[in-house]
Structure 1
Amino acid sequence: MTVRILVATAVEPEAAAVRAGLAGGGVEVAAVGVGPAAAAAGTARLLATAEAAGTPYGAVLSAGVGGAFPGRAAVGGLVLATRSVAADLGAESPAGFLPLDQLGFGDPVGRVDPALLAGLRAALPTAVTGAVLTLSTVTGTETTAQALATRFPDAAAEAMEGYGVATAAGQAGLPFAELRTISNLIGPRDRSAWRLDAALAALTAAAPALITGTLALATARP
């Protein structure tokens, strides 16, 4: 049986970078939109359409460019999420930020499949592992960067879509993982310091490992 893997990126340049590194079948890449809402809706639509057509996916990977916490990952490097956290989904309070679970409204963490993560780590041995934060507003000040680093000491990177893709995958009962290549360090916003070309090239270089890291897991599952 042919196993299909969905790689969901935010924008088409990321999708094109992944496709450029793919030499075999079984992996489909789609740009599903920027931000957690668009990512969840776009991924859910693709999963439902495939299921209805009798060609379901076997695993879902959120992939694309992100920013790294200084000292935790390097520009041009890779980060594999140990969990995808909706870091700004909750409420402010005089005592500090209250995440979704403390409000009693659900789980702010998108769960990464342990076996899928293990397969990807084996295929991408240079990747840093840690939490990847999903934010609707990209960090652009030192104050926010330090606050996030304190709240999430295991965080290696931030992006805008992982939790949304994880939500769609979880509701479909599919294993999920997240890969980020790093274009910049998190802190005061300095667009001139971003290295998008290096991050996109890293996506292309990592693409063959996505096949070996995800297809082996999905093929082994019933």
Structure 2
Amino acid sequence: MQLMKNLLIVSATEAEILPLLRFLEANFRTVAQHSFQNERYSVDILISGVGMMSTAYNLGVALARNTYDAALQAGIGGCFDMQLPLGSVLGVASECYADLGAENRGAYIDIYELGFLQKDTYPFTDGKLLNLKPFEAGMGLDLVPAISVNTVSGHSPTIAARAGRYGAVLESMEGIAFHYACLQQQLPFLQIRAISNYVTPRDRDAWQIGLAIRNLNQHLQDFFSK
């Protein structure tokens, strides 16, 4: 008999995960608000809030109160690679800081160059938080590198500098907090992002938020329907 897996799904906003919530309400037994079960999974949904600080605090509280077999972070994000179609769903192989440091006139000095953190201080590996054993082998997704920022890239020099320095495909505001907590807890995890926009000077009219949310949630629903 297969043991039930206790899963935590983390999303910055309810809007990003609302279709999955409706799916779980319709197909799972509701145990409590944002908590569902069937014969295979016990699923808690955590709306962490936007940004690293809110995510770190609320995820820390959730992990202190409950024991999970794995955690998923699900959301939308920007993409540096314009060859990937908007709405594409990807997993994240690695996370790193992209704006934690100091400015020196026109130059950016990262936290490592400042000497406040060593690149291989656990759980970092060469300045990155790696997911070497992603939950359910990445749930069938291509895994790509990502960066986390407090201010999303929207100025051409910033975009070029970050793309060149980090070689990232995805950008979000919460991913590194999720990776850090899961690695510290030695909890299997996977961050999933659907591309809502390309990382360019800000142009909301070109974004495809609705498409990204639909594709993200369809992938999650397909996983829980197997």
Q: Shorter-chain TM-score: which interval? A: 0.7 to 0.9
For residues 159 and 201 of structure 1, the distance between their equivalents in structure 2, rounded to whole angstroms, comes to 18
- Asked if the contact 2:17/2:217 (under 8 Å) is kept, the reply is no
For residues 61 and 105 of structure 1, the distance between their equivalents in structure 2, rounded to whole angstroms, comes to 30
- Asked if the contact 2:135/2:188 (under 8 Å) is kept, the reply is no
Aligned pairs, number? 202
Give the unaligned 5+ runs of structure 2. Answer: 28-37, 118-123
Change (3 A) 1:188 1:178: same
Amino acid at match of 2:200: G
Matched, 1:136 2:147: no
- Asked if the contact 2:73/2:178 (under 8 Å) is kept, the reply is yes
With a CA cutoff of 8 Å and minimum separation of 6, indicate the structure with the bigger relative contact order. Answer: 1
Cα distance per residue 1:182-203 (max 9 Å; x no partner): 1111111011111111011011
> Aligned runs of 1:1-222 on 2, under 5 Å?
1-20=3-22, 22=24, 23=27, 24=38, 25-50=41-66, 56-71=67-82, 73-93=84-104, 96-106=107-117, 107=124, 108-112=127-131, 114-116=132-134, 119-120=137-138, 123-124=139-140, 127-153=141-167, 155-208=168-221, 211=224
Query: What residue is the counterpart of 2:33 in the other structure?
Result: none
How far does residue 93 in structure 1 lie from its aligned partner after superposition?
A: 3.3
Amino acid at match of 2:16: E
Give the unaligned 5+ runs of structure 1. Answer: 51-55, 214-222
Change (3 A) 1:30 1:118: closer
For residues 189 and 9 of structure 2, the distance between their equivalents in structure 1, rounded to whole angstroms, comes to 10
In proportion to residue count, which structure has more helix?
1
For residues 37 and 3 of structure 1, the distance between their equivalents in structure 2, rounded to whole angstroms, comes to 28
For residues 150 and 93 of structure 1, the distance between their equivalents in structure 2, rounded to whole angstroms, comes to 18
Report the aligned-residue RMSD.
2.4
- Asked if the contact 1:129/1:156 (under 8 Å) is kept, the reply is no
Change (3 A) 1:147 1:110: same
Structure with the greater alpha carbon radius of gyration: 2
